[in-house]
Structure 1
């Protein structure tokens, strides 16, 4: 598949992949373009940004922009995709260094996306929140 095909494909895994690429590039406009207007984006209880965010702008301002303020080089590495219809589960890991403490993380995560009509309508994060919080503790 060429980059052009990936950019226009509405296949659920391709839409999710575009989201990761946009996030890694810090391109919030491209990231918002992968999200449905009524998206529900849930960060896990115990995670510093825990909660459910709605609308593409709500997701990027409350999640990605906040991570950028508190962490250096926050990256979600999408390693393995498991696809079942509109459900895409990605086994991944986060790497970053906390700006306040200088402590680094390399933590495994699972992300569950639901993709309809070429847009992400739902996201749920599963992560070892204790490892993230440890890196934030002085």
Structure 2
């Protein structure tokens, strides 16, 4: 019996971003870090609880993903629609979660802009109605 070859993982910008969403939804921080460039710049929008720019794949997972998981139950970014032009990937998405302290549910539309080079995410910027997030957290 011969070996069964696994299909190659695509490094297309859309595929890389999709792997990031899947890893995030699964809580697989190692797989998520594997989609990020070592010098990634990850910007959470002003007014968002984690507002600011995070650098390095470890910095993004520790400063954003782990904190979201601690503060929110079932935090999920649902990637609904992709718009791709070259290295730019814009995703129209939704966040759903329940705040662990307030018990309030969050359902909010978001837009994410990724820049992918060499099969890795080098830049991310979040756009979200931060008032809805703040209201759920308070």
Structure 1, residues 5-56: CA drift from partner, whole Å, max 9, x if none? 4x71110000000000000000000000000000000000000000000000
1:65 paired to 2:44: no
Q: Supply the distance in 1 between the matched residues of 2:60 and 2:46 (Cα, whole angstroms).
A: 16
1:124 counterpart residue number: 125
Structure 1, residues 78-130: CA drift from partner, whole Å, max 9, x if none? 00000000000000000000000000011000000000000000000000000
Q: Supply the distance in 2 between the matched residues of 1:120 and 1:30 (Cα, whole angstroms).
A: 13
2:11 counterpart residue number: 10
- Tell me, what secondary structure is at the counterpart of 2:101? coil
Q: Supply the distance in 2 between the matched residues of 1:75 and 1:49 (Cα, whole angstroms).
A: 16
Q: Supply the distance in 1 between the matched residues of 2:30 and 2:51 (Cα, whole angstroms).
A: 23
Q: Supply the distance in 2 between the matched residues of 1:114 and 1:37 (Cα, whole angstroms).
A: 14
Q: Supply the distance in 2 between the matched residues of 1:116 and 1:125 (Cα, whole angstroms).
A: 18
- Tell me, what secondary structure is at the counterpart of 1:8? coil
2:56 counterpart residue number: 55
Could you list the runs of 4 or more consecutive aligned residues of structure 1 that deviate by over 4 angstroms after TM superposition? none
Superposed CA RMSD in Å reads: 0.9
Q: Supply the distance in 2 between the matched residues of 1:79 and 1:71 (Cα, whole angstroms).
A: 21
Q: Supply the distance in 1 between the matched residues of 2:39 and 2:62 (Cα, whole angstroms).
A: 15
TM-score, normalised relative to structure 1: 0.95
2:3 counterpart residue number: none
Q: Supply the distance in 1 between the matched residues of 2:132 and 2:24 (Cα, whole angstroms).
A: 22
Q: Identify unmatched segments of 5+ residues in structure 1.
A: none
